[in-house]
Structure 1
Amino acid sequence: MRITSAIKQKNNPNMIQIYIDDSYAFSIPEEEYLRLNLYEKEEIDLEEIKFIREEVNVKFAKQRALRMLTTRYRTEYEIKEKLLDLGFDYEFVAEAILQLKSMGYINDRLFATKYISDRLKLKPRSKKALCFELSKKGVSSDIIEQVIDEFEIDESVIAYRLARKKYGKYNIDDSKIQRRIVSFLSHKGFSFTIIKGVLEQMKEDKSG
């Protein structure tokens, strides 16, 4: 078998697309392409191809993923999308993620637990908002439901504190302020029942 072409990826020039007998075979990081002296080769056998595909590319994808995880914890989906953006073939990304999950480096349930815990401490919000944010990060609905049920989230208290912090200095009897509070809390995922209770509590605070 002959290496008939080696082309830099358009979206990621650090990755080289290798064509064997005029058909696409795999992509490989440029540094590995140079280290393995593939630029000097015209012939390549099945054993070399297998080594590059199963060892070199998967290993390199794992290294890049681990580098990402040193900056912050990420979901399986986030890691997968980033590795694909970097130009790794899907099969190598899938295998790298499988190995990292078995080693405990990727755990969406743990991610969701930490994410909700941090949010409730630093930026409290509604259950709906938390579910939406985790869903955007690729966490499955089953995991989200399981994890969020483990937390005691008093949405009435959270909504009240948010509204009080933002609108506490205004006249709560002003209909414009009330509409702003309704809009503000609605956008944060709180139900009308919760919002109605917040308005009533703020009115009581003023009269009391």
Structure 2
Amino acid sequence: MSAPDSPASGGRPSDAGDDRQPPGADELRPLAPADLAGQRPSADEQERHAERAYRYCLRRLTGAPCTEQQLRDALTKRGYDDAVTDDVLHRLRTAGLVNDRLFAQLWVESRARSKGLTSPVLRAELRRKGIGDELSDEAIEQLDPHDERERAAELVRRKLRGPVPPRGPERDRLIRRLGGMLARKGHPAGRAFAIVTEVLDEQHEAHDETDEYAVGRWD
């Protein structure tokens, strides 16, 4: 006869788990249906759920930084109630493992430098990650408008390999494509095309008109 609390008997599995499971496997699984039935959990169950949720968040944070809202959404999706989620996020904040202000600052710095993104695009990205307007504005204020324009020009330079055409349909095509690239990164159309034109003129002056030219990948 099966033990009363074995899966085969229809009861809840033992908290001890299966010896064949890898370490940490328990917190990677969502709560079982019995845990979500709506009954008020005992103090021991609440503590067990909180510890399991905390370990899950630690594993998430080991892979990449997260905002509080990202972790809250993940815990809710896995079936943890608000009390457990609030407790876990408080522990993470106290330990310095979750810091939305620092996340916003590092995100803005990294994305502006590596991708050439502008303030409106960065603000939208932070909003999708659950960062409020106050912290977003604070992080974006660190960006210098002059540096933003120079980053855009440098991005255009990186896309060009060798000389550029001085005039004609090929030059017009380059202006449209490179201007469109900058517009997708949040630059107003007028500024985007002005930056591209300046860089093309600069590159043309640096090379002989008869040289071949090429253009890199667009993103």
TM-score relative to the length of structure 2: 0.68
Report the Cα offset of residue 65 of structure 1. Answer: 0.7
Between the aligned partners of 1:25 and 1:14, the Cα distance in structure 2 is: 17
What is the match of residue 171 of structure 1? 165
Q: Which residue of the other structure, out of 17, 20, 25, is the alignment partner of 2:39?
A: 25
Change (3 A) 1:147 1:14: closer
Aligned positions of 1:1-208 closer than 5 A:
14-18=30-34, 24-25=38-39, 49-53=42-46, 55-152=47-144, 154-167=147-160, 169=162, 170-171=164-165, 173=167, 174-205=171-202, 206-207=204-205
Question: Secondary structure in 1 aligned to 2:96?
Answer: coil
What are structure 1's unaligned runs of at least 5 residues?
Answer: 27-47
Give the strand-richer structure, 1 or 2. Answer: 1
Between the aligned partners of 1:176 and 1:121, the Cα distance in structure 2 is: 26
Between the aligned partners of 1:204 and 1:87, the Cα distance in structure 2 is: 58
Report the Cα offset of residue 101 of structure 1. Answer: 1.7
RMSD: 2.9
Question: Secondary structure in 1 aligned to 2:66?
Answer: coil
Report the Cα offset of residue 145 of structure 1. Answer: 0.4
Question: Secondary structure in 2 aligned to 1:200?
Answer: helix
Report the Cα offset of residue 60 of structure 1. Answer: 1.7
Between the aligned partners of 1:6 and 1:101, the Cα distance in structure 2 is: 37
Q: Identical aligned pairs, as a percentage?
A: 21
Question: Secondary structure in 2 aligned to 1:69?
Answer: helix
- Counting matched residue pairs gives 177
Change (3 A) 1:183 1:50: same
Q: Does structure 2 conserve the Cα–Cα contact (< 8 Å) formed by 1:172 and 1:202?
A: no
Report the Cα offset of residue 207 of structure 1. Answer: 4.0
What is the match of residue 36 of structure 1? none
What are structure 2's unaligned runs of at least 5 residues?
Answer: 1-9, 14-27, 207-219
Between the aligned partners of 1:158 and 1:179, the Cα distance in structure 2 is: 19
